[in-house]
Chain A
C-alpha cells in the first residue's frame, strides 16, 4: 500500500508536452530502455541521465499536454520517477500516467515554493511537505490508487483476471 514517499525534486515548467517528454523520432520499436535517455531532450538534454530512482518531478500547469502516446509516461516511470506533482495535468496524460503506475497529484502551491534539488515528502490523502511548509491534498480516488499500486492498468487487469469480461 503506498502511503508515503519521499524524493529529490526535478523542477519543470508549464505546458511540458509529449514532444518534449519523448520526441517522435525515437518512438518506433525502440525499447523503453533505449528511449529513456532522450526524455526531455529538447528542453534539457542532460536531465534523463541525472534522474535517479525515487526522484519526484514538480511541474507547473498542463503537464503532459499533447499526444496520447503512452510512451511518454512509460519512459518517465522507467527513469525511476514514482510521483509527479503538478499544478495541473493534461487529461490523456493523467489516464496514461495512472495506467503506468505513476502517482499523479495536482497541488497548486508546491511548485511556487520549492527549488530543484529540494526533498519533498508525500503522505497520500493528507499532505505534501517541502522546505518546512505543508500543503493539504485531497483524497486520491481508490480505484485509481488500486491501479497504481498494482503497477499499472494491465497488471491490474491480470490480477483481477478480467481480460475479457465486464
Chain B
C-alpha cells in the first residue's frame, strides 16, 4: 500500500519508513513561523513559564510582522517592540514591512518536502511548493520553537482531480471558493486536500497558492500539490541560494479517503456571501448589490497576477465615487514588480488607495475597517460576522477581477462584463527586473486568457444580460 505526498513528508519528518492516517507521530519541523497576532504570547510563555529557556535551531525560526503594520495603536506598537527585542536577543530572523508572512515564506524560505508549522491558519499555503504546512496556536508553536518537534496525527487525504481550463473571467479564486462551497466549511476537516489533475499543468505558482491557501476554510489540516518543474523555476527566480528540497509524489496505490473531480470548463465567477466562506453562489445571484468598499490583496489574492488583472480592468477607468477601493500587494517584491510594470500608476489614477504590503482589510483591525451596515467586497480569506468592522457590516468574497469591476460600477458585477486589457510597459517604468536575472514579465503565468476590452465602457450600468 503506497503513501500520499502528505504521508511521505510526515514519515520523513518522523524518521519513519511508513506512516498511515491516524498514526500519531513526533515530527521534526523544518520551519517555524510566527507573526504579530500571537508571537507576544509565545514570548511571554517562553520567558515567564519555561524553566529551560532554549530555542532549538534559531536559524529555522522566522518572526514576521504583517497583521498590524504599521502599528495603529500603542498596544500593537508594544507587540512589535516585544518581537523586535526577543528576535534580537535570540538571533531570530525578523521581517517587518516585507509583506504578508505566507508570501515571505513562499518567496524566501520554504522548500518542497518541508514540514512547516506556522502560528497562523493559512500556513497551509506552502502546499503550492509541495511542502506540508499547517497552522497552530501559540502554545504548540512554543513547544516546536523549544524542541524543534511537534506531535501530529497523520491526516487522511482527499483528492481533488482538476480538469479543463479556466474560461475567460474565471480564476483560481473562483475554483477554490467553488470547492469550499461544494464540500462545506468542514468538508475536509482534519484532512489533507491534495490537488492534482491535468489542469494543474496550466496553473501558475500564484494559482496553486490560491488553492492551497484556502484549504483551512474547508477545515483541512493542509492543502498540497506535487511539486514539479514550475516549482523549481519559481525557486530559482525567487531565492538567493540554489533551490533544494525533496520532490515527493503520491504513490499510484496511495489510499484516498474521498475523491472529487472539478471541470474548470464549467466554472463561472462565484461569490461567498456573508457570513460563511462556504455560502458560495454564482456572482450572477448577487448582481446589483451596492458595495461601500473593495479590497484586493491578502495572502490569498495579493500577488502579481491579481495586480495585473486589476490594472487591466482599472486602466482608463475610475473607481465609483461611493466606493473606497484598497489594494495591498502581498509583499515588497510584488509591490516593486507592480511598480516596474506601471500597475501602481493605474491604481492611483483610478482613485484606488494603495497600501503597504500587509494583511490590511482582510484582517479587519487596522486598515480599511468598515462601518455600520457597510458592505465590503474582498479578495480576503474570510467573511465571518463582524470580521471587517462593525457587527452589522457584511463581507462578500470574490476574485480580484470581480472586485475591480464592482468597484468601478459601485455594485456587485460580473467580471466578464469588463475583461482586463493587456498592460504595455508604462513609459516611465524603468523596466528593470525586480529580481536580478528575472524577466520583467516572468513566463510563470498561465497562458493569459485576457484580451483587449472591446465591449465599450464598463463604467456604466451593469449589463444584466442572460449568461446561460
What residues make up the interface of A, taking CB atoms closer than 8 Å to B? Answer: 15, 17-20, 23-25, 27-30, 41-43, 61-62, 65-71, 73, 88, 90-92, 95-96, 99-100, 143, 152-155, 157-158, 161-166
Contacts and interface: CB of A to CB of B under 8 A. Distances in A.
Interface in B24-58: 24, 26, 37-38, 40-41, 45, 49-54, 56
Contacts of B53: 163
Contacts of A96: 136-137, 139-140
Interface string B198-219: 0000000000000000001001
Contact of B221 (A67, A91, A143): A91
Contacts of B123: 68
B75 A66 contact: no
B51 A158 contact: yes
Interface in B354-406: 363-365, 369, 382, 384-387, 391
17 contacts: A18-B384, A20-B386, A42-B385, A62-B219, A67-B37, A67-B121, A69-B37, A71-B38, A91-B190, A92-B137, A153-B142, A157-B142, A158-B49, A163-B147, A164-B147, A165-B147, A166-B26
Nearest to B73: A28
Contact of B139 (A90, A143, A153): A153
B458 interface: no
B232 interface: no
Nearest to A27: B37
Nearest to A18: B384
B76 A158 contact: no
A100 B139 contact: yes
A69 B137 contact: yes
A62 B220 CA distance: 12
Given A28-B79, A91-B221, 14 more contacts: A17-B382, A19-B384, A19-B387, A29-B40, A29-B78, A29-B79, A42-B385, A66-B384, A68-B121, A71-B41, A96-B140, A99-B137, A163-B52, A164-B54
Contact of A163 (B50, B76, B138, B189): B50
Contact of B185 (A24, A62, A70): A62
Nearest to A165: B147
Contacts of B137: 68-70, 73, 92, 95-96, 99
Contact of A70 (B138, B147, B386): B138
Nearest to A30: B75
B136 A154 contact: no
Given A24-B365, A71-B38, A95 B140 contact: yes
Contacts of A65: 185-186, 219
A68 B391 contact: no
B172 interface: no
A24 B79 contact: no
B128 interface: no
Contacts of B136: 68, 92, 95-96
Given A90-B219, A99-B137, A17 B147 contact: no
Given A29-B75, A30-B75, A42-B391, A154 B186 contact: no
A28 B76 contact: yes
Contacts of A154: 45, 49-50, 139, 142
B160 interface: no
B289 to A, nearest CB: 21
Residue among A70, A71, A96 with most chain B CB within 10 A: A70
Contacts of A99: 137, 139-140
Nearest to B120: A68
B181 interface: no
Contacts of A100: 139
A126 B385 CA distance: 36
B143 interface: yes
Interface string B64-75: 000010000101
Closest 3 pairs (CB-CB, A-B): A70-B137, A163-B52, A42-B386
